[in-house]
């Protein structure tokens, strides 16, 4: 099965969560500019044209207006922390898989935006503190057992096991 990404951190986490061999193929198409993670994931999957493959996209929805979303990858974590410190956030992971048809798997986790802390993880992990924790994703060893990505990949794994 091919994971359409060149993000080594996403590949590492997917392998750890799924516990199966994954082969990656870089996505060389254009990036759609949208806050909706599902739109972004499906767009990349269909544009890639690679059969029996999947794409994962993640968004961080910030504040009462649920801003930024899938566009989070374009903002430095320090800038987000400064603008949204103390505000509620929801991390959403969307996996688009093209078996015989396109299937969508989502995982979500709520939290709060804090100033950067921690060395683990990547992207905005250092500013997202999940509900029920006093540490950020970048400080939590068990991130891959609680995260939005874990929840989406767990659903995806159940689907590919039953196919």
The one catalytic residue among 21, 34, 36, 57 = 57
The DSSP letter of residue 110 is: E
57 noted as active-site residue = yes
The DSSP H or E segment spanning 68 is strand 67-69
Task: Report the Cα–Cα distance between both ends of the chain, in Å, rounded.
Answer: 13
Among the listed residues 85, 70, 74, 68, the one whose alpha carbon sits nearest the alpha carbon of residue 127: 85
The DSSP H or E segment spanning 42 is helix 37-48
List active site positions: 57
């Amino acid at each position: 099965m091919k994971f359409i990404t060149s993000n080594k951190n996403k590949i590492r986490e997917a392998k750890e969560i799924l516990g199966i061999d994954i082969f990656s193929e870089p996505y060389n198409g254009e990036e759609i500019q949208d806050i909706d993670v599902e739109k972004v994931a499906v767009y990349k999957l269909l544009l890639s044209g690679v059969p029996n493959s999947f794409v994962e996209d993640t968004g961080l929805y910030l504040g009462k207006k649920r801003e930024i979303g899938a566009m989070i990858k374009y903002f430095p974590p320090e800038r987000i922390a400064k603008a949204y410190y103390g505000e509620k956030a929801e991390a959403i992971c969307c996996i688009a898989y093209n078996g015989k048809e396109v299937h969508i798997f989502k995982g979500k986790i709520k939290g709060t935006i804090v100033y950067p802390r921690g060395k683990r993880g990547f992207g905005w992990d250092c500013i997202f503190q999940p509900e029920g924790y006093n540490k950020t994703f970048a400080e939590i060893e068990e991130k891959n057992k609680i995260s939005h990505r874990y929840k989406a990949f767990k659903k995806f794994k159940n689907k590919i096991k039953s196919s």
